[in-house]
Amino acid sequence: MVISRSLRDPRRYFEEIASDRSAEAEGSPVCLYLEITNRCNLLCETCPRTFETLEPPADMDWELFTRIVDQVPNISRAVLHGVGEPMLVEALPRMVRYLKDRGTYVLFNTNGTLMQPKRFKELIDTGLDELRVSLDAADRASYLKVRGKDFFDRIVRDVGKFIAYQKGVGATSPRVSLWLTGMKETVEQLPAFVQLSAAMGVGEVHLQRLVFDEGGYGMARAGLSLFESTQADEVAAIEAA
Ligand code: SF4
């Protein structure tokens, strides 16, 4: 698929390119998304998993993982998360190394609850390129409201320790970033979120859009989304951040 014309509204690219898509993909895939587990230790209000059991809890086994990866040996980029916490998977370091040995850029999102110091060295040694930590709040009370469990202090402490460890051993990867889902409930915390990130030593912050379906669930609802309804005070918070 080639997108040659300019888009009328880049925010709605997904609607505009619909007619350009053929039934059969013409090029080779460049990016692989693998949901290596659907298990999780949080109960986020923004997650479908919290409200509905879609499939029995399971991790992707090594045989299935390699069978998929071996079909695309030249894949450029691999993302090892779906709906579930990748750091719960025992084979995660081996999976990252398997992809890195093929020259693939590897990243995953984590909820940051399992960043114990005993895992720091291994995490770096895998060659992982990017580690995205979904924190979603700048304080403990908001975190609890959005993420469903009281893990804020632990994550801030352990991710901060990981950054310090990385600096101590002179490691430049994985590149660590903090993520906040944009919602009316929390967007005003964005400037404080940036300050928290700096205090933890994390040099990169992302504001991520809230994903929800038509019916909505928990806090994943159109009424809490910023998309196409951002108010002046919310824009001000984003600009201040
Ligand atoms: S950490 Fe991720 S997978 Fe787990 S409940 Fe939250 S959004 Fe869902």
For residue 40, is it left (φ>0), alpha (ψ between -120 and 50) or beta?
beta
CA distance 106 to 76: 9
Asked whether residue 17 is assigned to any structural domain, the reply reads no
How many angstroms does the Cα of residue 5 sit away from the middle of ligand 1? 37
Find residue 32's DSSP bridge partners: 78
When pLDDT is cut at 50, 70 and 90, the band that residue 29 belongs to is confident
Q: In 3D, which of 170, 172, 175, 177 has the Cα closest to residue 208?
A: 177
Residue 19 in domain: no
In this prediction, residue 195 has a pLDDT band, given cuts at 50, 70 and 90, of very high
List the structure tokens of 108: 């995953």
| In-domain check, residue 6 | no
Number of compact structural domains in the chain: 1
- Given a cut of 60, whether residue 177 has pLDDT beyond it is yes
Q: Would you say residue 3 has pLDDT above 70?
A: no
Residue 23 lies in a domain: no
CA distance to 185, 195, 206, per residue, from 232 (Å): 15, 22, 20
- Minimum CA distance residue for ligand 1 atom 3: 84
Question: Which residues line ligand 1 at a C-beta cut-off of 6 Å?
Answer: 40, 42-44, 47, 49-50, 83-85, 111
**Would the pLDDT of 227 be above 50?**
yes
The answer as to whether 5 is a domain residue is no
Amino acid letter, 173: S
Instruction: Report yes or no on 225 lying in a domain.
Output: yes
In this predicted structure, the answer to whether residue 116 has a pLDDT above a threshold of 50 is yes
Ligand 1: residue of 55, 85, 211 to mutate (most ligand atoms within 8 A of CB) is 85
pLDDT at residue 127 above 50?
Answer: yes
For residue 130, the enclosing domain spans: 29-240
Residue 11 scores a pLDDT above 70: no
What average pLDDT score do residues 85-89 get? Answer: 98
pTM of the model as a whole: 0.91
* CATH for 202: 3.20.20.70
Cβ neighbors of 219 (< 8 A, separation 6 or more) are 45, 46, 146, 183, 185
Residue 85 lies in a domain: yes
